[in-house]
Structure 1
Amino acid sequence: MSKRAIYLDHSATTPTDARVLDAMLPYFNESYGNPSSSHGFGRKADRAVEDAREMIASVFNCKPSEVIFTSGGSESDNLAVRGAAWDARRRGKGLHIVTTPLEHDAVGKTAKQLADVAGFELTVLPVDHVGLVDVEDFAAACGESTTVASIMYANNEVGTTQPIAQLAALAKERGILFHTDAVQAAGQLMLDVKTLGVDMMSVSAHKFYGPKGVGALYVREGIDLVPSQSGGSHENGRRAGTLNTPGIVGLAYALKLAYDELEQHTQHYQVMRDRLIGSVLTRVPDARLSGHPERRLPTHASFIFNDINSDMLLMHLDMKGIAASSGSACKTGNPEPSNVLLALGYSREDALSSLRLTVGRSTTANDIDYAVEIIAESVEKIQQLGLGVR
């Protein structure tokens, strides 16, 4: 195991910014009241929650009342898609949902469950070889019975970003609620809901240097959602459960810092990403970039290699101190290809030969150069040993 540690998996999670942690600490053991309590301790916690709500609303360009706090991106996605769908049924509206094969399971499996169990019709749009949704395909899929569409802002596996403003505008013309999963985009791309034109938007703090276990859902004023869980009347009856005051404070401050410092971080991300992409494509024979070459997250690089096994490659990299990920998921020892890569038209073998590398604030040029050297050596070794996908 190498003593050197290089973290290139920032799409999976990010370290909590020290400034964010400092902002959170008082709400663990000083201002620890329940924000729903009427006494002084509770009022102080409630004030912190409402200040955080206003801070987030400022970034989203929305009203504070349009921000719902959740436990993270998955809950936000579930509440948006399931909540809007059940409200449509309650109101006797159409029962058609439109989404894509690129979505996180929090959207994809929720939509499929609604189709399998509750009788909703589900359309999964095709995407092209770089992971883009065609606006015309979306228009053709939307009919009179379409009630909600959910299309992610940026994909976690290949980094491709979607034309959300165009898609949302089309949905609005047809009276369709439009949700976007912005979990990967938050901290990197603009989140102005007025400019995007979305009705609902999900974010998760740990993707932009905030704490794990807390997220937010923007819900445009006037939209009713059927709550996903029963309990108290927290968040105006839209999300039951005692509010996570330290997490909410951390979420809001991390988001504020990310957008206050967006320009400098984005410039750094792009320089590191482009160095990484250029070096891998130069050093590794027949390496291919997956996802869109231009419409992609500034932190994101993803590749397909010939005649290798992603799990084997990740093990080699980990032994050298490099943290990365792939598009495959290992289930009881049986690697399954990424549905996202299959949707882009890659073969099963290609989908099992993928590598995702995502840079962050602390990534250096030396980190990139070392990582590329190890990647090139590891790919060559795996190919020579014949340990590719079989």
Structure 2
Amino acid sequence: MANKILNLDLSKDPIWLPFIYGRVGDEKLQTITVNVTNNDQQFSLAGYTVAFEGVTNGGKTKVFDSDNVKVTNASTGTFEYTFPSAAFGTPGVYERAYFSIAKSGVRNSTGDFKIDVSNNADIDAEEAQTVITEYNKLVTELNKLQKENINALTKQQTDYIDSTNTKFISIQNQITDLQTLIGSYETSVNSTKTTAITEISAALEQFKKGDFYTKSESDSRYLRYSVDQATNAEAIAGTTGLKWMSPSTTKVAISNQATTLTGNQTVVGTKNFQDGLQLAGKVVQAGIAERPITDSDRSDTTYVTGVNGILTRVGDVVTLAFNFQCGNWPSGTETRWVIKIPAGYQRSGTTPVLHPLTLLRNAAQPTDARAYLDGIIVNVKSGNGSSYVSGTWVTKDPWPS
């Protein structure tokens, strides 16, 4: 038997609502073929997760099911869906029924269709419960992880006890070895003490017999104050290691060769302050970095194209200026996540949460068009055509590489 075919559009155009009929208790006997389009154009489902979502008559149950979806041709947007028994668990017409698609944080949904569930002859038939296949998957995975963790914990406890016993035996052996070593050290120290006393006594006797220079003899032989003292010019040049420097010549050499804590000085040459530079306790802003903004920075890769701009950082101040195109702004959409701000340029702090940016609006855009920075995402309410966004903020990110 051929499947019933539904043509559903992501624009949610309510021109005609197709009907699906079933009866309470039906299970996996009805399969439909669905063709998804976007504004009557083929839409590729490559990489998308497709799920049926519905609210039964009177809002009694909610159905969320992706297990019974089978994508038959992703490039043409075609898939099959087999209704489980829970989908036909409540008699009456569904309040709402549609299919959702999701990929990489982007979610969309088709237009609605109708499901009419007829009652059966069994007045005791239980009503369906909410079907959340993703939840059932998580429960199964949780039970598996719990069992694995219990086994791992048991093994860790056994390994720890065995390791502790081994370490205890090793410590006992080390204590015995240390006691033996201490005994040998005591014997060695006593022997060394006796030897040292004997040698010191002999050295003192030899010292008493020595013939040494007097102070005046030593000064005249080894210290020549006027000849061996460095001049100011020699101290500044620093080319000899055979003369001594007085406090006055040392001061002159330092003041001409190094940066001092006080006094005015002129410093020449390039100095690299690796850890920062401050003036009166305030950080001196320095350095400039630039980074192009391109399509690779997009947050919305479906509707946003032609991203072209630049991020400039001078010290901790960041300036953004870029342009983007939108050939088909989705109907009813307020704002779009246009680009992500990369590390090294991200705004510091969250007060206020939204940081306003400037948007240059063209004639095709609404009068309330706007742009703002929310965390690291630039949000824009715009329209079809070209939009220009710019703004400035402060960052505390490390300097970009």
Give TM class, smaller chain. Answer: under 0.3
Calculate the TM-score normalised by the size of structure 2: 0.23
Calculate the TM-score normalised by the size of structure 1: 0.24
Larger gyration radius, structure 1 or structure 2: 2
Higher helix fraction (1 or 2): 1
Higher strand fraction (1 or 2): 2
